Amino acid sequence: MTAPGPYRVLWLQSGGCGGCSMSLLNAEHPDLYGALDALGIELLWHPSLSEASGSEFLALLQRLESGEQAFDALCLEGSVMRGPNGSGRFHRLAGSDRPMMSLIAKLAERARHVLAIGSCAAFGGITAAGGNLAEACGLQYDGDQPGGLLGGAWRSRGGLPVINVAGCPTHPGWVIDTLAQLALDGLTPDRLDALGRPRDYTDHLVHHGCPRNEYYEYKASAEQPSDLGCMMENLGCLGTQARADCNIRPWNGSGSCLEGGYACINCTSPGFEEPGHPFTQTPKIAGIPVGLPTDMPKAWFVALASLSKAATPRRLKLNAVADHIRVPPGHEPEDGS
């Protein structure tokens, strides 16, 4: 497939922290600008990367909204701010008195594709946590419920729903891959999951490739954050439920939350921001973790966990509750160690 011309992208920010843009700048092999150039993607405007501002920016928006200048993709980073009372006046377009949500809705009708960049733009995310006084929502979802700004039945001019490149922040590779597929006219509805997320990364679990998988297999669990063991049983890790390829496609070439010693909080899913308990605690009923792997019956998991624990090598038992490897593979621990 070859693109007929430049694929033109407008990137706007609304209610968010800018973390997805910061993540995007960390793209490697190729870098962001190298990737855009190779794919024939033209970035019409980005709040952090573009020189145009003030009247130049407002004039560009006018041309795009009126249809005088065509563009292909609207990327929104950050949630839509609908407050107070649905007026959108909490967030107005700089240099005008216009609610940002009105502009976003108008531009969405002009774009061939619409992308929600990050979980705030997709579902409301962190911005919608707490009492949500700002009435923050996603482009096509309000939490896990279809709706949001555009409505659950909305489709772009290209025939797709809002493409939710969810994550907090989203991985630079997820953004670039999605734009590449769109630029080459290769992203079809069947390549989006039930929440409108690209299946290129949500067909995987964060658990896949986890550096702590040996501990998980034997249910050798960490007891405190500095321990090396599996963090599912005690420290809130949701890697066996989270849909993403973070440990297959490392961040910044080598890292992931789990690689850095922090439990997965399932940030690609709606509602992750308010789990109802501390992120680093695992809720349990009768001693059994509530958050078990989504594709395994609970009774099977409990039975297998009991067998695994019974067969756990002493090496793993000791290393799981240590902050460094105390016993390397192939070494029998000494008595009393």
Q: The CATH number of the domain where 155 resides is what?
A: 3.40.50.700
Are residues 127 and 275 located together in one domain of the fold? no
Residue 331 lies inside a defined structural domain of this protein: no
Q: What confidence tier does 311 reach under pLDDT thresholds 50, 70, 90?
A: confident
Are residues 163 and 210 located together in one domain of the fold? no
Give yes or no for residue 328 having a pLDDT over 60.
Answer: yes
- What CATH number is associated with residue 253? 4.10.480.10
Residue ending a domain, among 181, 202, 223, is: 202
Give yes or no for residue 336 having a pLDDT over 70.
Answer: no
Domain tally for the chain? Answer: 2
* H or E element at residue 303: helix 298-310
Are residues 255 and 134 located together in one domain of the fold? no
Are residues 173 and 262 located together in one domain of the fold? no
Give yes or no for residue 295 having a pLDDT over 80.
Answer: no
Looking at residue 2, what is its pLDDT? Answer: 46
Are residues 288 and 175 located together in one domain of the fold? no
List pLDDT tens digits, range 273-293. 999 999 999 998 877 777 777
What residues contact 185, with CB distance under 8 A and at least 6 apart? 1, 3
**Domain hosting residue 224, numbered range:** 204-321
Are residues 157 and 121 located together in one domain of the fold? yes
Residue 77 lies inside a defined structural domain of this protein: yes
What's the token pair of residue 314? 């002493």
Tokens 């910061």 found at = 22
38 by DSSP, 3-state: which?
A: helix
pTM of the model: 0.93
What percent of the chain has pLDDT above 70? 96
Mean pLDDT over 50-60 rounds to 93
Contact 121, 138 (CB under 8 A): yes
List pLDDT tens digits, range 152-197. 999 999 999 999 999 999 999 999 999 999 999 999 999 999 999 9
